[in-house]
Chain A
Amino acid sequence: MQLTADNLTCVRGGRTVFSGLSFRLAGGEALLVTGRNGAGKSSLLRLIAGLVHKSAGRLALEGGEAEAPIAEQAHYLGHSDAMKAALSVAENLQFWTSFLGADDAEIGPALEAVDLVPLATLPAGYLSAGQRRRLSIARLIAAPRPIWLLDEPTSALDAASQTRLAKLMRQHLSGGGMIVAATHGAIGLDTARELTMGPE
């Protein structure tokens, strides 16, 4: 499986965020997108996720499900958690597993992977920022998709959770998955390649 970007250009609100961006990512590889604020890291992730139109260039996934667009084979972990405060932790996760077409049986192991089992019945509104982040990470575990698009995945996470996330990411990579992560610091992936955006 290979994700290829060729001369990607992104224009948002009349401003060229980035242009002529190319990279190649094979299964089992991770790409760390770095750069100063406003360099277009988040825009690149949203573009791959199909949430922003590309103005020029080519983006293709080879070896995946040929019929499905990249957006349907990717998970996007953005700045917001996509969790409803009025629903419990388990209900939130159950909804996303069902909506993304995964098996309900995955909910238990996913909650265990992010260490949220004791809080399963608590309304998500009572969670701390770090716990909410862990809940949205559980979504990536419960509904397997080959590409993970992570925007600042370690923000709000404590040291133990960061180690746990790094382990989950390595598991995902060893299963042939791909990770594109926008970040300012190390996220615990030694093998990852780096893509620096914007002027130096």
Chain B
Amino acid sequence: MNALTALMLRDMRLAVRVGGGALMGALFFLIMVVMVPFAIGPDLKLLAQIGPAILWLGALLASLLALDRLFATDYEDGSLDLLMMGSTPLELAVAAKAVAHWLTTCLPLVIITPLLGLMLNVEMNATGALMLTLLAGTPALTFIGLIGAALAVTLRRGGLLLAVLVLPLTVPVLIFGVAAANAAITGAAPFGPPFTILCALSLMSLVLGPIAAAAALRHGLE
């Protein structure tokens, strides 16, 4: 088996087994979105208006939830040393871990979005577009978060630092994600421009994230 496939499969297996974080993100997302109508009250118009923003915020926080363990567990049990000694470039290994993380924590979020859209009174025909924005935007969240996870790897309470480091960097993703989703729902503005920028942000972080994370890991392990 190819080294990168093996690494991805291992991480996905770990995520769905006992103590893994695969469903935690989706459950957090679910709870958070379900709580919102209780806090806001039964104003359907208002709910529909803020629906995309709530869904995007939920996805953002949920995707950060398990991210701090991405390298920390490998660091603690010595796996990270061996990953660095492999003949696979660290950048690719790190990217493979991020892909596994996205598949196990972010993809479930995208899949349960229609159900949650229903609770926030998002129109059925706009749900598809909303899912599409999350599908295109969440890779950016994972790969930007990757840098934070690599920087915080040696810290015992890295989770909080990770959030502080990563959240400001995700602001553009949030802005264009919500803009694209709102455009799809209200039809007041064209869907294309914000969505293409969202895709561009994802592609950019797909390239920059692993390089920066690998550099941070190399530096941090001194």
What residues make up the interface of A, taking CB atoms closer than 8 Å to B?
12, 46, 49-53, 68, 71-72, 74, 76, 78-87, 91, 94-96, 98-101, 104
Q: Which of A49, A74, A76, A98 contacts B3 (CB 8 A)?
A: A98
Assess the B2–A51 pair: CB atoms within 8 A.
Answer: no
Complex CA gap A79/B9 in Å reads 26
Inter-chain contacts of B87 with A (CB < 8 A): 68, 72, 100-101
Complex CA gap A95/B88 in Å reads 14
Assess the A83–B77 pair: CB atoms within 8 A.
Answer: yes
B31 within 8 A of A: no
B45 within 8 A of A: no
Q: Which of A49, A87, A96 contacts B81 (CB 8 A)?
A: A49
What residues make up the interface of B, taking CB atoms closer than 8 Å to A?
1-3, 5-7, 9-10, 13-14, 17-20, 73, 76-79, 81-88, 221-222
Assess the B222–A99 pair: CB atoms within 8 A.
Answer: no
Inter-chain contacts of A84 with B (CB < 8 A): 10, 14, 73, 77, 79
Inter-chain contacts of A52 with B (CB < 8 A): 222
Assess the A86–B3 pair: CB atoms within 8 A.
Answer: no
Assess the A82–B3 pair: CB atoms within 8 A.
Answer: no
Write the chain A residue with the least CB distance to B88. Answer: A99
Total residue contacts A-B, CB cutoff 8 A: 80
Looking at B17, B77, B221, which has the most chain A CB atoms within 10 Å of its CB? Answer: B77
Complex CA gap A74/B87 in Å reads 11
Complex CA gap A53/B87 in Å reads 18
Given contacts A53-B222, A79-B78, contact A87 B14 (CB under 8 A): yes
Given contacts A72-B87, A86-B18, contact A99 B6 (CB under 8 A): yes
Inter-chain contacts of A85 with B (CB < 8 A): 19
Write the chain B residue with the least CB distance to A70. Answer: B85
Can you report 29 residue pairs joining A to B where beta carbons are below 8 Å apart?
A: A12-B222, A46-B81, A51-B221, A53-B222, A71-B85, A72-B85, A76-B82, A76-B85, A79-B78, A80-B77, A81-B78, A82-B79, A83-B77, A84-B77, A86-B20, A87-B17, A91-B10, A91-B13, A95-B6, A95-B7, A95-B9, A95-B10, A98-B2, A98-B3, A99-B3, A100-B82, A100-B86, A100-B87, A101-B87
Minimum CB–CB distance for A123 against chain B, Å: 9
Assess the A82–B81 pair: CB atoms within 8 A.
Answer: yes
Assess the A81–B77 pair: CB atoms within 8 A.
Answer: yes
Write the chain B residue with the least CB distance to A100. Answer: B86
Complex CA gap A12/B20 in Å reads 34
